[in-house]
A = this chain, B = another copy of it.
Amino acid sequence: MDEFELISHYFTPPNSEADIDRGVYAGIGDDCAVLSVPPGYQLVVSTDSLVVGTHFFANSPADDLAWRLLGASVSDLAAMGAIPAWISLAITMPEVDHDWLSLFSSALHDACNEYGIQLIGGDTTRGSLSLTATVHGWVPAGMALMRSGAKVGDLLCVSGTLGDSRGGLYLLEQQTQDDGSAMDSVSSDAQYLLDRFYRPEPRIALGEALIDTATACIDISDGLLGDVEHLLKASKVGVEINADCLPYSAALGRLVGNKQAISWALTGGEDFELCFTINPTNELKLQSIRHETGLPIRVVGSITSDPNDRVVRGIDAEALSGYRHFSQPANGRPSKE
């Protein structure tokens, strides 16, 4: 057994008896994990990679990477309305770094506990640093929230605040330009934005609550405009977004000004909030979901019938550059591509 096989020991869950029964008949340690999906449920599966130099800086703290990987992966489960169940993890690293592994695996176990997801296996190999997670969840059969169900007249909603992760990345980029060293002390605004970048909170409870309310759902990983585009394509509908309604944090506004904050709320990726559509008759239900989840949920637009409609009201044209499908309204009427 070489060192790379030995490091799998870091990933044996500290408690063999999980608090929550996740149907794990055999976890780490055989050729495969053996698992049971509860009767009446379907399985949902998603795979995400985080690669050094592409998704994170080489000096990123190992514990932050674990939280970021879990947050981003589990967010895909939340976007389907699923209950997190299992995760398998492939780690490629240039050499066995026990300090890094200790910090990473400890944070990984914390994140797994936080999200109620159980590590069931994986692979550790030598190579350039990268992390690939395949997450599994359960959803009542036939009830998964798809991108494809948005209907004309539906309200377009988003949870939380948008653009924060982009703000955190901006701070990290600034730091890299300065001297490359870690920030010793940062303001509470900066810490908030860095946490939003490194430790996104997957909206699991919101996804579950939306299962019989939302008509379509996606998580915001590419940025609102990019992800809405996926939802519109899948649903074959258009949209009109009101930029004045976009939720962004006071911290982001203070860091870069309101104009930039709105632009990043539209285009900044990796906030891992949920973007979903509901029938207007469900607005009251939305109120109770806000109360239940403790999350701000904002109506930011509405679904239109023309699949080419991509209108954003209340914003400068320059903020939409790079998003060729989207435009401002012409003469107050929705413009067509």
Contacts and interface: CB of A to CB of B under 8 A. Distances in A.
Nearest to A47: B88
Interface in A24-64: 25-26, 29-37, 39, 42-49, 51-55
Contacts of A128: 127-128, 130
B89 A144 contact: no
Contact of A54 (B55, B82, B125, B148): B125
A142 B36 CA distance: 10
22 contacts: A1-B226, A26-B146, A29-B234, A30-B234, A32-B44, A32-B45, A32-B82, A33-B46, A34-B44, A34-B139, A37-B43, A43-B43, A45-B86, A47-B89, A47-B90, A47-B121, A49-B127, A51-B125, A51-B127, A53-B127, A90-B90, A125-B130
Contacts of A130: 92, 125, 127-128, 130
A77 interface: yes
A240 interface: no
Given A31-B79, A34-B139, 5 more contacts: A33-B44, A34-B146, A35-B44, A36-B42, A45-B86
Given A37-B37, A43-B43, A77-B32, A48 B134 contact: no
Contact count band on A: 35 or more
Interface in A176-234: 217-219, 226, 234
A35 B31 contact: no
Contacts of A32: 44-46, 76-77, 79-80, 82, 137, 144
Interface in A228-244: 234
B144 A34 contact: yes
A20 interface: no
B134 A134 contact: yes
B45 A120 contact: yes
Interface in A66-100: 76-77, 79-80, 82, 86, 88-90, 92
Interface of A: 1, 25-26, 29-37, 39, 42-49, 51-55, 76-77, 79-80, 82, 86, 88-90, 92, 120-123, 125-128, 130, 132, 134, 136-137, 139, 141-142, 144, 146-148, 217-219, 226, 234
Contacts of A217: 31
A26 B149 CA distance: 13
A55 B121 contact: no
A31 B219 contact: yes
A127 B186 CA distance: 31
A128 B128 CA distance: 6
A46 B29 CA distance: 11
A137 B33 CA distance: 10
Nearest to A221: B31
Nearest to A51: B127
B35 A125 contact: no
A88 B76 CA distance: 14
Central interface residue in A35, A130, A132, A146, by most chain B CB within 10 Å: A132
A206 to B, nearest CB: 14
Contact of A126 (B39, B48, B51, B137): B51
